[in-house]
Amino acid sequence: MKDAPRVLVVDDEQVVLDSIRKHLRREGYEIRTVLSAAEALEILDAEGADIVITDLMMPGMDGLELLARIMEKGERIPVIMITGYATMRTALQALRRGAFDYVSTPFTRSELQGVVARGARPGAGGGVGVGGAPTRDVAGPESLHHLGGHCWVQEMPGGAARVGLEREFAFTLGDLDALELPAVDDVLEQGSVCVRFLARDGRSHTLWSPITGRVSAVNEKVRERPSLAVSDPYGEGWILELVPRDLAADLAGLAPEA
Domain of 55?
A: 6-126
- 120 and 146 assigned to the same domain: no
pLDDT > 70? residue 212: yes
C-alpha 178 chain-centroid distance? 19
128 CB-near residues (< 8 Å, 6+ apart): 98, 100, 134, 135, 138, 148, 149, 168
Is 120 within the bounds of a domain? yes
* pLDDT tens-place string over residues 163-191: 999 988 888 888 899 999 999 999 999 98
- The domain that contains 97 carries what CATH number? 3.40.50.2300
- List phi, psi (to 5°) of 7: -110, 125
Beta-bridge mates of residue 242? 161, 215
- Which of the four pLDDT bands, split at 50, 70 and 90, describes residue 78? very high
DSSP for 73-142 reads TT----EEEEE-GGGHHHHHHHHHTT--EEEESS--HHHHHHHHHHHHSTTGGGSB-GGG-BSSS----T
185 CB-near residues (< 8 Å, 6+ apart): 214, 215
Q: What is the pLDDT of residue 83?
A: 87
What is the rounded distance in angstroms from the CA atom of residue 199 to the CA atom of residue 154? 26
Is 228 within the bounds of a domain? yes
Is 117 within the bounds of a domain? yes
* pLDDT tens-place string over residues 116-139: 999 998 766 654 333 333 333 444
Q: What is the pLDDT of residue 75?
A: 77
Average pLDDT of span 22-29? 90
- 95 and 43 assigned to the same domain: yes
Q: What is the pLDDT of residue 100?
A: 93
pLDDT > 90? residue 218: yes
If one counts the domains in the chain, the total is 2
Listed range (62-71, 86-95, 131-140) with the worst mean pLDDT: 131-140
- Which of the four pLDDT bands, split at 50, 70 and 90, describes residue 203? confident
Predicted structure pTM score: 0.82
Count of CB atoms within 10 A of residue 105's CB?
13
